Chains A and B, each alone.
Chain A
Amino acid sequence: MALATQQPDARLNDSLRIGTHTLASRLIVGTGKYASYEQMAEALALSGTDCITVAVRRERLVNAAGQNILDHIDTARYTLLPNTAGCFTAEDAVRVARLGREILSGLENPGADWVKLEVLGDAKTLLPDPVATLEATEQLVAEGFQVLCYTSDDPVAARRLKQAGATSVMPAGSPIGSGQGILNPNNIRICLEYLKQDDPDYPVIVDAGVGTASDVTVAMELGVDGVLLNTGIAHAADPLAMAVAMKSAIEAGRLAYQAGRIPKKLYATASSPEAGNIAAKPR
């Protein structure tokens, strides 16, 4: 029994390596859309994450005395992952990445050397612009950033981003904030095959679309290395309970992936032995 109960726990200690960063949790959580900073802080703690993503926006100069998110984040506990959310051109994404790095370097947070790159093509779908994402990746890699690329679940685009030097490719399960889950698991499978071929430790993270805990588990069972989500927790009816659910989901999915699921079969296979059965078989 000791083996059966200890080994899975030990497996949960497998950390997530992304470039030079090592994360204890495979869940990366966004910091937007919470009802309050207090709720955000509590949800982050309950989710078990040690990496949180933040956006870069204009300082509200009219209300300089107002609260700053940095007053509610323990920067010693969390590695911050600045993002370029809301950028529609490669040029703007590069500017925002530089600004994020500048702020993070002043905070002495290890997150100063990486960025979650998001270059969007369209405000309605928030789908990535693949060409601009590739251009921005090349530029940021040249400037020394470790680039985590938000992209679609297109395996060819994923491969091009890795070739351009992306530290991690992060295919969307479904559109940002849509809660539709993993719409095309087969594309995620092919992304994994392409990105991990001859490079099994290359980190692939599902970013966007998670609606509930089972979506996280489905993604992890496919073999992705982590999941990044925000709205699924922040807009749940009870964000704190959902944060706990997401923590369990990421652990369940990771363990199930490592455990190796049984193949799917069309017909049933009895779990109880046939031998010694006193019941007559149907003809």
Chain B
Amino acid sequence: MDTAFRKIDIDAYDEDAFLESELFEPDPRSPAHVLNDAKQKQTSVRSLLAKGDTAGALASALEGAPYGPGVDEAKNLTLQSVVSILNSTKSTEIPNVVRSLSQDAQDTLMKYLYKGMGLPGWGDVSGSVLLGWHEKLTEAAGTGCIVRAMTDRRTV
């Protein structure tokens, strides 16, 4: 059976198509501003990590995470910061760190965990570390947190 018709972009013929950009509120910050924020975050995360404040570093990295189109560089920087925190946390500390996060931060962290799992071998992303965090985060925030990470179109 010919299945080529399934590949036709039917939205191209629909004047009133529902666009990706209508799925979420755009970031009020400009892309340059977002990038600047991400760079500043990276520095502050490093200094917090140096002090041994993992929870503070993670909360700071996850706050105001870049989302939406046109901010790929900021997204990469933030992912790097988050991954470096995740990698440097002792596995016994994870439950406490996860519990100390706000609901917003927990949801954002879940998005980064899934993003990391989708990029095996990117930077120093390690599957086993991410799975360890995923388990503890799900215990603390429930399956609802996973559902939100999948539902939210503000992809990080």
Q: Do A and B bind each other?
A: no
Chain B residues proximal to chain A, CB less than 8 Å = none
